[in-house]
Chains A and B, each alone.
Chain A
Amino acid sequence: MSLLEVKALSKHFGGIRAIEEITFNTRSGIILSIIGPNGAGKTTLFNCLTGFLRPTKGSVVFSEKEISYLSADKINLLGISRTFQNIRLFKEMTVIENVMVAQHSKIRSGFLSAVIRSSNFKEEERIAKERSFEYLELLGIEAYAEKISGSLPYGAQRKLEIARALATEATLILLDEPTAGMNPQETDEMMARIKNLRELGKTIILIEHDMKVVMGISDRIIVLDHGVKIAEGVPYDIKNNPMVIEAYLGRETH
């Protein structure tokens, strides 16, 4: 049974067809990569899946629920979480607070119990903080917990964004270029961490440009070009697919 089913999904901006009739599905517990040249519609696809853009046509079914018309926060509550290509942290908040924001929906006690500081409230805050710390440990940035997140080095900010996405306890994590701007060591470390997430039972959809990363960790790969899915398969097939090579390198002419 598939966790996410995308059927004939299209997004048009006026006359521009950013993505056109994309269909794919993914089982749970795998790493699915979406690759394609710049402007292929990868981020638009992510935005459609997470409710930041309303698709023009088509449907998105997540755990047997139609989600294409829902708002971003509702989709998140159903269990899809994402990171952003240009890092979007809550810069003035501390690192642990950033992750605690993601625990928002897990904390039940509301306004009044916050004012009277009921034992229930204290317990929930403590648990939220502990859990947030665990997510920081998972990504290896627990040393920064009390730092203001805007002051973190670039690599740590990327990791914090992933920790924050995980802390919503989503089952499907969408990572938009998690290794962008990283040096080879950092990239290797990030690859290991993403693989580790799969071991924890998360399903991951990844946008990535670094072919070494893509070929190294993906279970399946989808290739987009000009908003259309041109290939799908295991890394080996994609590597040898003439259409993919053409999309990336252009047609051979004699």
Chain B
Amino acid sequence: MPEKTWNHKKYLMPVIIALWFSFLFLPFKGIKAAILLFVILTFAIPLLKYALNLIKKIHLPADTFRGYVPSDKRYFFLLLVPLMTAPFFAEDYIIDVVINSGIYIILALGLNIVVGFAGLLNLGFVAFYAIGAYSYALINTKLGLGFWSAMPVSVLLTMLSGFLLAVPALRLRGDYLALVTLGFGEIVRLVLNNWDSFTKGPNGISGIMPPYIFNISLGKLSYYYYLVLIFVVISVFVIRRVHDSKTGRAWISLREDEIASSAMGINTTLYKLYSFAFGSFWAGLAGCLFAAKMRFISPESFSFMESVLILCMVILGGLGSIAGVVIGAVILVFLPEALRGVETYRMLAMGCGMVLLMVFRPQGLFGGKNVSIGS
């Protein structure tokens, strides 16, 4: 009886989900709280589903958030007004978080080129971020070059490393590529951690200079805010334009169907290489901005979890969607800050959030219908 099995599933799934979450909750508050959570969730999930169904019935069109984002470019400048004036009224703490989210936006946009556009799952993206940050830090502290001359060099170095990784890695597909990139990320971190004579190992590099413009240090938070803002705007602008060109179309065709795209005369290997190099370009830039902001970097900042976080930003926002990725990055930087009050649970809350997102909106907040990666 199909009717019966369907009902069966309907009632069993919430119980399993509740059991799972309460199991996760167990180490935090003990058995009592876990049981309470289990009971609440068992009833809350069907209720939530019921409510969602109701909402779906009321809310007829728009199964995507894309419709809510104005496509007219003129609105973009309206958005710039609060961003331009923010340092005048916001407190330093907020500005600091905004700067962080700016750096993560650049990173996530870079990863989006590789994962979202070209469809190559990269689990070691933080390696390029680290190479960008370390090359800037080393050039700056050892050779004494300033930000504006060291940054291009370190960005180029990062691009080169992206190329070097891509050459052997692109013989692989899907899961295997993901594993190789994951390995690359770890190799870079371990090298930075253990090459004491060059990178000072786990002690990290301190005394990195902030950027200067005409002898004015941009180390002050509000000045640095504008610097990051400019780079974010540039990155959105450039990536959008590349996306809407033959290069972007070639990437997306690669993601959609590699065989068909080579049948259309696209050199698939070359375009995969481009996507790696272009993606790591932005990671290098973000790394420079990070190093120049923190004035101190150590291998800890470039762990595997960082790669996962960046990937989460891309997936949360929606693979391949620039606006989505920007918003995904902002959410994932602000959310932990907003949840600082409940310090212990914030990772749990974020995890739950991601799970719920994947269950109810696997394509991300702004993504298309059935973009998949790694296939």
Contacts and interface: CB of A to CB of B under 8 A. Distances in A.
B267 A121 contact: no
Which of B249, B265, B371 gathers the greatest number of chain A CB atoms within 10 Å? B265
A115 B370 CA distance: 28
A100 B368 CA distance: 20
A71 interface: yes
B256 A114 contact: no
Contact of B264 (A102, A121, A150): A102
Interface string A80-120: 01101000111111000100111111010011001101000
Contact of B249 (A72, A97, A115): A97
Interface string A49-69: 010100000000000000000
Contacts of A103: 246
Interface residues of B, number: 29
B265 A168 contact: yes
A60 to B, nearest CB: 16
Contacts of B238: 115
A93 B256 contact: yes
A76 interface: yes
Given A84-B260, A104-B264, A93 B252 contact: yes
B262 interface: yes
Given A90-B260, A114-B245, A104 B266 contact: yes
Interface string A29-63: 00000000000000000000010100000000000
A103 B242 CA distance: 16
Interface in B340-373: 368-371
A202 interface: no
Interface string A154-178: 0000000000110010000000000
B266 A101 contact: yes
A231 interface: no
A89 B238 CA distance: 27
A107 B246 CA distance: 7
A104 B252 contact: no
B146 to A, nearest CB: 26
Interface string B291-323: 000000000000000000000000000001000
Contacts of A77: 265
A107 B263 CA distance: 17
A90 B263 contact: no
B268 interface: yes
B315 to A, nearest CB: 16
A148 interface: yes
B241 interface: yes
Contacts of A150: 369-370
A73 interface: yes
B261 interface: yes
Interface residues of A, number: 37
Contacts of A100: 246, 249
A117 B255 CA distance: 25
Contacts of A81: 263-264
Contacts of A93: 249, 252-253, 256
B257 interface: yes
Interface string B62-89: 0000000000000000000000000000
A128 B264 CA distance: 14
A73 B250 CA distance: 12
Contact of A91 (B261, B266, B370): B370
B172 interface: no
A63 B238 CA distance: 41
A90 B261 contact: yes
B36 interface: no
A73 B246 contact: no
B222 interface: no
Contact of A50 (B242, B246, B253, B263): B263
B242 A111 contact: yes
Interface in B112-126: none
A114 B245 CA distance: 6
Given A89-B257, A89-B260, A92-B370, A111 B250 contact: no
B206 interface: no
Contacts of A92: 252, 255-256, 320, 368-371
Nearest to B267: A73
Nearest to A125: B245
21 contacts: A50-B263, A71-B262, A72-B259, A73-B263, A73-B268, A76-B262, A76-B263, A89-B260, A90-B253, A92-B256, A92-B369, A93-B253, A100-B246, A101-B264, A102-B264, A103-B246, A114-B244, A114-B245, A114-B247, A148-B369, A168-B265
Given A52-B263, A110-B247, A114-B246, 6 more contacts: A72-B262, A90-B252, A93-B249, A93-B253, A105-B265, A164-B264
Which 3 A-B pairs give the minimum distances between C-beta atoms? A114-B245, A76-B265, A90-B256
